[in-house]
């Protein structure tokens, strides 16, 4: 029986006990280092396992014995006032991936919401006509260019780029908007006189450019890290039109600038996991020029699919 056990150990476990430069002794099993003993004349160091295993260090004077287990080191110190124990803990270093993929370029879809519009320029008798149907007031943003200026550790970046934004503001009332007398302020026009209205909207296009600070966090969802970003998005007005459709099938489209502000800027906040992002953009500029229409500051809430 003893011979059988010895034969099994010889075939399965290969112990290698060797002295290297008379200072280091290693014990290996199947060519894997299990125990290392290092004697450098001043202290004896014993390692069990890899760098995260167990390590015992004693000095020849017998004053201090260190036992390290993982990131904790237990020091048994024989001092003038007796023997005492000191425990130290190694600070864990964050393992940041070397890559940083910004989350601007891609396709976005958002829902437009209007709240607390100001109609004071119309007097007390003007109803709040710019009421939207949020479920049909959608924006599609195609962000086609992206530039990220990263720090050395690639934990955050300043992000910019370009995109095109296509915005629908679908009215909840059976109206459209027009310029009073063809060139004046924006006023509503009731469409019920012409038939039962199926859909009526104002469509506005912008060329956009962001300036964002994007941060990579240690938080994960699966293999993807959580990114958060905030900043501003500038917009240059490109064009607009109104369009409405009756249930009987007739359609009408009218192109005009409708006194839309030439420039706008939104503040934005974004949270991204991998190739999925949720965002909110709030316009700090009124949709219409001052004194030409109601003061309206749209809020867009949506999702984006960056890097598609």
Residue 26: pLDDT over 80? no
Which pLDDT score, from 0 to 100, does residue 10 have?
44
pLDDT digits (tens, 9 = 90+) for 29-72: 656 665 676 766 666 666 665 555 566 666 655 567 676 666 66
CB 305 within 8 Å of CB 276: yes
Closest CA to 142 of 211, 80, 206, 199: 206
Distance CA 281, CA 58 (A): 62
CB 39 within 8 Å of CB 21: no
Which pLDDT score, from 0 to 100, does residue 223 have?
74
Q: Which two tokens stand for residue 101?
A: 């993929």
Higher pLDDT, 305 or 75: 305
Which pLDDT score, from 0 to 100, does residue 9 have?
44
The residue ranges of every structural domain in the chain are 13-89, 106-306
- Residues 126-138, mean pLDDT to the nearest whole number: 90
CB 44 within 8 Å of CB 61: no
Which pLDDT score, from 0 to 100, does residue 268 have?
98
- Residues 161-177, mean pLDDT to the nearest whole number: 96
pLDDT digits (tens, 9 = 90+) for 180-224: 988 899 999 999 887 889 999 999 999 999 999 999 998 887 778
Residue 174: pLDDT over 60? yes
CB 189 within 8 Å of CB 178: yes
Q: How confident is the model at residue 4 (pLDDT cuts 50, 70, 90)?
A: very low
Q: How confident is the model at residue 127 (pLDDT cuts 50, 70, 90)?
A: confident
Higher pLDDT, 170 or 56: 170
Cα of 245 vs its chain's centroid, Å:
40
Higher pLDDT, 15 or 260: 260
Distance CA 6, CA 27 (A): 18
Mean pLDDT of the chain: 82
Which pLDDT score, from 0 to 100, does residue 38 have?
72
Which pLDDT score, from 0 to 100, does residue 58 have?
65
Which pLDDT score, from 0 to 100, does residue 183 have?
85
Lowest mean pLDDT among 50-59, 110-119, 288-297, 298-307: 50-59
Residue 259 has a CB neighbour count (10 Å cut-off) of: 19
Distance CA 158, CA 230 (A): 10
Higher pLDDT, 62 or 144: 144
To the nearest 10°, report the CA torsion of 50, 54, 58, 63.
140
The percent of residues in the chain predicted with pLDDT above 90, rounded, is 53
């Amino acid at each position: 029986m003893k011979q059988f056990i010895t034969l099994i150990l010889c075939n399965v476990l290969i112990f290698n006990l060797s002295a290297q430069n008379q200072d280091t002794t290693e014990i290996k099993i199947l060519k894997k280092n299990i125990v290392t003993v290092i004697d450098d004349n001043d202290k004896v160091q014993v390692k069990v396992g890899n760098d995260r295993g167990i390590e015992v260090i004693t000095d020849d004077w017998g004053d201090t014995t260190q036992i390290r287990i993982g990131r904790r080191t237990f020091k048994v110190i024989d001092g003038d006032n007796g023997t005492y124990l000191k425990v130290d803990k190694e600070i864990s270093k964050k393992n940041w991936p070397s890559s940083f993929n910004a989350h601007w370029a891609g396709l976005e879809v958002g829902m437009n919401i209007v709240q607390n519009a100001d109609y004071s320029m119309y007097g007390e008798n003007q109803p709040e006509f710019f009421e939207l149907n949020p479920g049909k007031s959608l924006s599609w943003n195609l962000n086609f260019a992206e530039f990220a200026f990263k720090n050395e550790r690639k934990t955050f970046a300043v992000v910019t780029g370009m995109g095109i934004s296509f915005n629908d503001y679908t009215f909840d009332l059976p109206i459209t908007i027009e310029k009073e007398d063809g060139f004046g302020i924006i006023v509503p026009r009731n469409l019920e006189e012409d038939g039962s209205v199926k859909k009526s909207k104002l469509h506005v296009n912008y060329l956009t450019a962001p300036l964002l600070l994007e941060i990579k966090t240690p938080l994960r969802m699966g293999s993807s890290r959580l990114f958060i970003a905030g900043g501003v998005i500038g917009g240059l007005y490109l064009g607009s039109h109104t369009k409405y459709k009756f249930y009987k099938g007739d359609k009408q489209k009218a192109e005009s600038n409708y006194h839309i502000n030439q420039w706008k800027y939104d503040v934005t906040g974004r949270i991204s996991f991998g190739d999925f992002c949720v965002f909110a953009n709030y316009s700090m500029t009124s949709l219409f020029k001052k004194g030409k229409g109601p003061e309206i500051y749209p809020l867009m809430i949506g999702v984006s699919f960056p890097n598609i």
